[in-house]
Amino acid sequence: MRNTRPLDFPRTRPTFIVLAVGAVVALILLFATVDPWLDKSGILVGGLDVHVYRDGAWRILHGRPLYTEPTFYGLLYTYTPFSALAFLPIERVPWAAVTDTWLAVNMVVLLGCVLLSWRILGYRIGRRLFGLSVLLTATCVFIEPVRTTLYYGQINLLLMLLVLWDFSRAPHSRGRGLGVGIAAGIKLVPSYFILQFLALRQWRSAATASGVLVATVVVSGVVLPADSRQYWTSTFFQSGRIAVDTHPANQSLRGAMAHLLGRPAPVWLWLILACVVATVSSTIVAALYRYGESLLAVTLAGLTACVISPYAWGHHWVWFVPLLVYLVHRAQYRRSWWIAAVALYVSIGAWAYHWSPTWVSIGVFLLPPSWPVSPILMNAYVIAYFAVLGCAGVLVRRLRRAVVDVGRLPERVDESQLLASSRPSSDVTVD
């Protein structure tokens, strides 16, 4: 639950300095390391995915099949039929302007995600916080999930914006769940948040999201009957259309198992472990939300959706952005949290992201795949996820103890004051 009264962001010069330095360093590193839109042979590389989206929209306008023929540059279309309808506005953008236009849109959406994260934390969006959000947005462009999303023209930031918009609203507000339903209609992974609504016992939001998702399937079935039939009866079950499980880019639990085993893991084993992880995560998410940690709750849910997916590219992990916002928020009460923020940033930065037959790199790790440690370190995002899951569990335990010390759970949970109330000191900090 969010605080009922918006809070003003603290006047902290160190925060401004840290984010200003981070923004400058991130932009310098980005322009110094990012590949150009075209490779040396003149073939388009940057904006590749958004051109696939545009080609999908072009195909349904011209009566061409979505799934039985290769699309742009021979790539296969893997999204739902409804996504092609949602991408129709992109088809109206001239081909040569698509990459840069979508890059600009993604930057605005990234800023929107940062601002919505502050809203979920209960802050009032004033000029000071907006300025800090611009700096934090610039700082985030160099973390690998965001860098890859911007570079390839992916849609993950927009899907995250829709989900955050839902969770920034009051639990019983009308239309809450609309964003999750639309996001799930475009790309099925966000449907995991329907389960989170159920775990939070927010039945109305879960019903709204489910209804909107079903509506996207019905609408696309009416408008695109052949493509819908092909997708839901065949394409949906062909996970190999994306890539093999053992690919270093597969930053999911299933991918980690394949990396460690050297071959695809048994499906039954992955399903059991994924269900266990989802159950543990949902329990922690519900507790976090109950104790007023709404942003960390939705962030953990987003990270969990990535880790239990059959295949998760690095750019799916844009949920590290609200996690960074949360850590900056925490650092306002205790500066030691800057250490956690910097550690996360370093571990997911776009320092040397690359893979080939001779080298593997995820985040800061650039190692020969023949090294014994490579199958472990190439799962950097999965490792980071379990670290976040464990820390969230510890936080829930501390909050539970603080509530016991207070004697009851107040209607308006201010977590920093809740923790401070259990200390003899009058200094209000967050531990």
C-alpha 4: how far from chain center: 26
Q: State pLDDT tens for residues 126-163.
A: 888 999 999 999 999 989 899 889 888 999 999 999 99
Checking if the pLDDT of 386 tops 80, the result is yes
Q: State pLDDT tens for residues 394-424.
A: 999 998 888 776 655 444 344 444 444 333 3
Pick the range with the lowest mean pLDDT from 54-63, 192-201, 395-404: 395-404
CB under 8 Å to 341, separation ≥6 — which residues?
324, 327, 328, 331
pLDDT band at 362 (very low <50, low <70, confident <90, very high): low
Nearest to 431 by CA among 335, 334, 325, 294: 334
pLDDT over 90, % of the chain: 54
Question: Phi/psi at 45 (nearest 5 deg)?
Answer: -120, -55
Question: Phi/psi at 73 (nearest 5 deg)?
Answer: 55, 30
Between 135 and 354, the higher pLDDT residue: 135
Distance CA 428, CA 357 (A): 53
pLDDT at 5: 66
3-state per-residue secondary structure call for the chain: CCCCCCECCCCCHHHHHHHHHHHHHHHHHHHHHCCCCECCCCCECCCHHHHHHHHHHHHHHCCCCCCCCCCHHHCCCCCCHHHHHHCHHHHCCCHHHHHHHHHHHHHHHHHHHHHHHHHHHCECCCHHHHHHHHHHHHHHCCEHHHHHHHHHCCCHHHHHHHHHHHHCCCCCCCCCCHHHHHHHHHCCHHHHHHHHHHHCCCHHHHHHHHHHHHHHHHHHHHHCHHHHHHHHHCHHHCHHHCCCCCCCCCCCHHHHHHHHHCCCCCHHHHHHHHHHHHHHHHHHHHHHHHCCCHHHHHHHHHHHHHHCCCCCCHHHHCCHHHHHHHHHHHHCCCCCHHHHHHHHHHHHECCCCEECCCCEEECCEEECCCCCCHHHHCCHHHHHHHHHHHHHHHHHHHHHHHHHHHCCCCCCCCHHHHHHCCCCCCCCCCC
Checking if the pLDDT of 81 tops 90, the result is yes
Pick the range with the lowest mean pLDDT from 41-45, 75-79, 337-341: 41-45
| Tokens read off for 201 | 């016992």
Q: State pLDDT tens for residues 89-99.
A: 999 999 888 98
pLDDT at 404: 73
Q: State pLDDT tens for residues 202-252.
A: 999 999 999 999 999 999 999 999 999 999 998 887 766 667 888 888 899
Q: Mean pLDDT throughout 69-79?
A: 82
> Are 1 and 295 in contact, with CB atoms under 8 Å apart?
no
Checking if the pLDDT of 256 tops 80, the result is yes
Distances in whole angstroms, Cα of residue 153 to Cα of each of 46, 75, 150, 190? 7, 15, 5, 19
| Tokens read off for 63 | 């009566």
Between 179 and 46, the higher pLDDT residue: 179
> Are 165 and 322 in contact, with CB atoms under 8 Å apart?
no
Checking if the pLDDT of 374 tops 90, the result is no
Longest pairwise C-alpha distance within the chain: 71
pLDDT at 192: 96
- Mean pLDDT estimate for the chain: 85
pLDDT at 365: 59
> Are 377 and 386 in contact, with CB atoms under 8 Å apart?
no
pLDDT band at 350 (very low <50, low <70, confident <90, very high): confident
- Please state whether the predicted TM-score (pTM) of the whole model is above 0.75: yes
Q: Mean pLDDT throughout 366-388?
A: 83
Q: State pLDDT tens for residues 272-330.
A: 999 999 999 999 999 999 999 999 999 999 999 999 998 888 899 999 999 999 999 99
Report the amino acid identity of residue 50: V
pLDDT at 321: 97
pLDDT at 35: 55
> Are 283 and 389 in contact, with CB atoms under 8 Å apart?
no
Nearest to 86 by CA among 190, 158, 177: 158
Report the amino acid identity of residue 399: L
Distances in whole angstroms, Cα of residue 142 to Cα of each of 92, 306, 349, 351? 30, 20, 6, 8
pLDDT at 428: 32
pLDDT at 356: 66
Q: State pLDDT tens for residues 29-40.
A: 777 765 554 444
Any idea which residue has 């973390």 for tokens?
Answer: 143
Gyration radius of the chain's alpha carbons? 22
